[in-house]
Every structure is written in C-alpha cells, then in structure tokens.
Amino acid sequence: MSTDHRRDGPTPPAGREMTRRGFFRKGVAAAAGVSAVAAALSPLRHLAPGDIPSVEEFLRKHYKEMTPEEKNAVLARIAAAVEKRFGVRPSLLDPPPLDGVEFVYALNISRCIGCRKCVHACVAENNQSRSPEIQYIRVLKMEKGSIDVETSDHHYAPPVVPDQDSYYMPVQCHQCAKPPCVKVCPVEATWQEPDGVTVIDYDWCIGCRYCEAACPYWARRFNFAEPEIPAGELNPVMGLLSNRPRAKGVMEKCTYCLHRTRRGLMPACVEVCPTGSRKFGNVLDPDSEVSYILQHKRVFVLKQDVGTLPRFFYYFDERGSRYHEPIAPVRSEEPT
C-alpha cells in the first residue's frame, strides 16, 4: 500500500519527499496489518488454562517410552488436575495387562431386550462426556430375519422393551485382533495390549480421526468439545489408559473397563445387564464361561468379511431364549 509504481514498469525517480510520504504510508499500512493480525488471533484469549500444554505435558514421552518414575509423575500430575477440576481425589492407577489373559466378550442376542442399561452404566463408569454426549455402546434394533445393520433402528424409544418382532444387537468396540484403527494411526497413539484390549494414549493422540474413519464397527468417539461431567457423577476409580477424564480434541473408546477387568472385576456393562445377555472373561482359561460359549454355542462375529478378527462374539441359543421363556418387559432407557 506504499507505492504506485506500475508493476514491472519503469520507476519514477524517488525524491526525498516521496520517501517521507511513502514512509508514513508504510507505517500506517504496517500498523493496520499488525492490528488486523491481532484481531484475527483475538479469540485465543478465551483459551482455557488447560488448553495450553504445560512444559511437562509438551515434553511428555509416549506411554510406551515412559520409565516407571516418569509414569508415576504423570499419574500424580493427572490426579492433581482431576482433583482441582472436580473436587474429588481420584484413585488413578495404571493396572498392567495380566499374564496368560486374553479378554473376549460374548453377547447373547436371543436374550438381549434392548433396554440400554449397558449404555448408561458404561457412560457412568467410564466418565464419558455428558455434553456433548459420548456413548461407547450403540444398541441396534434389528429386523427379525436380517443381520443387515442398514435396516436397523438406532433411535427406538418405546416406553417398554422388548419389542416382540425385533431382536437387539448392541455394538461396541470389538477389540479386533487385526485392528484397522491401530494400523492407520500416524503417531502410534493407539495400540493393542497383550490382553487383547486396544487402548489410546489420550495425551499422545493428535486428533486426526483417521482411526474413526477406519473402524468398521463405528466404535471410536471423538471429543468435539471440552467434555463435561457433573462433579458429583465422576467415577473416582480410574485407569490411565481407560476412564480418566479426557481432553477435547482426542479420540476415546471402549477398553473393556480395563481398570476393573485387570483387577478381577467384570466390565460395567456386564454387571448391569438385567438379562445376563453379556458374558466376559479370559478365553485362554478353558474353564471360563466365554470358553464354554465359544465351544458350544452358535457363535458369530459381526461383519466377518472385513477380516479384523473381533474379540467380541454374538451368540444365540434355543433354550433360555426370550422367545421361549419370555422376559418381563423393562422400562427402556433414553436413546442418544
């Protein structure tokens, strides 16, 4: 905005006066430019203190590269941050995978009544954001005689379930043995643990959402905004790789409640299920219930054709199914 020379054209001789005037105009232009840039950057003043990484957070190593001391420091730092934000001192641990354990899940679709108690127990257990709402389990109401998810109903909301003419198929992370989400992650922020659970290092994820595009089971969720959990509803028993509060801009997913299951408890969704449709355990233990189911029941996996080898099995049985021994109707929980 300083000169009027025609581009590539001859330049008029520059007198001293021109220079002074040009200098003034240049100064005005520069000031306008600087203030325009400042105005463009002005929304950044609303950044929350937690949005700007501290030096420790910025220099933090990848989960797998941390020494035990470094990991303890990280645990202490996160626990302090949670206490500051929610007013509750959490019990934050990082339980390691157990030797000789490979977790699998089995879900009896001939007993599931679609009440969505699992969905909400999961949200409460795993400290998912209530607003915007994040849920790991999606219960599909399926047409009888079809396993095509495209004809399923995600948002059914009758006052009571089950509907006699449908069956229900809850879907959550299938903890695949060949997980496409792990393959695509550019920064190795997600990986498969020795016990078969695919986890995310929430502090390493860059939020590109490639894993979300890669998952054939729509099992991953992204924090599009800062997650909100009412302080009174926070579950203070936390795992570093599972249910500790997440930040905005990162992915999260079902971890088979590893902060519980690695300590011998059942996942929250199994515990809450009123019909016993959900079974969970160690497939390497021949006496476990899941081993029995895999050996004796009519088991299938969803979308076997995508070849990701899920550790989540659906099964059905004749005896004990709700079609032969009706289950009393249950009040249905809210859909998403």
Please report whether residue 58 would count as binding other proteins according to CB under 8 A: yes
To other proteins, the closest distance from the beta carbon of 269 in angstroms equals 17
Q: Least distance (Å) from other proteins to the CB of residue 240?
A: 17
Tokens linked to 303: 């979308």
Q: How far is the CB of 270 from other proteins (least distance, A)?
A: 21
Tell me how far, at minimum, the Cβ of 81 lies from other proteins, in Å: 16
Q: Looking at 73, 75, 98, 208, which residue binds other proteins (CB under 8 A)?
A: 208
23 binds other proteins (CB under 8 A): yes
Nearest CB to other proteins, comparing residues 45 and 84: 45
* CA distances (Å), origin 279, targets 123, 313, 314, 330: 19, 10, 10, 20
For position 1 contacting other proteins by CB under 8 A, the verdict is yes
Residue with tokens 């910025």: 58
Stretch that binds other proteins, among 100-108, 110-118, 144-152, 275-283 (CB under 8 A): 144-152
Using CB under 8 A as the binding rule, whether residue 46 contacts other proteins is answered as yes
The closest alpha carbon to 79, from 265, 261, 249, 234, belongs to 234
Position 323 contacts other proteins (CB under 8 A):
no
Please tell me whether residue 66 binds other proteins under the rule CB under 8 A.
Answer: no
CB of 230 to other proteins, least distance (A): 19
216 contacts other proteins (rule: CB under 8 A): yes
Which residues in 276-315 contact other proteins (CB under 8 A)? Answer: 303, 306-308
**Cα angle 51-55-56, degrees, rounded to a multiple of 5:** 100
Binders of other proteins among residues 220 to 279 (CB under 8 A) are 220-226, 248-250
Task: Tell me how far, at minimum, the Cβ of 267 lies from other proteins, in Å.
Answer: 20
Residue range at the interface with other proteins (CB under 8 A); choices 10-18, 78-86, 90-98, 261-269: 10-18
Contact flag: residue 100 with other proteins (CB under 8 A): no
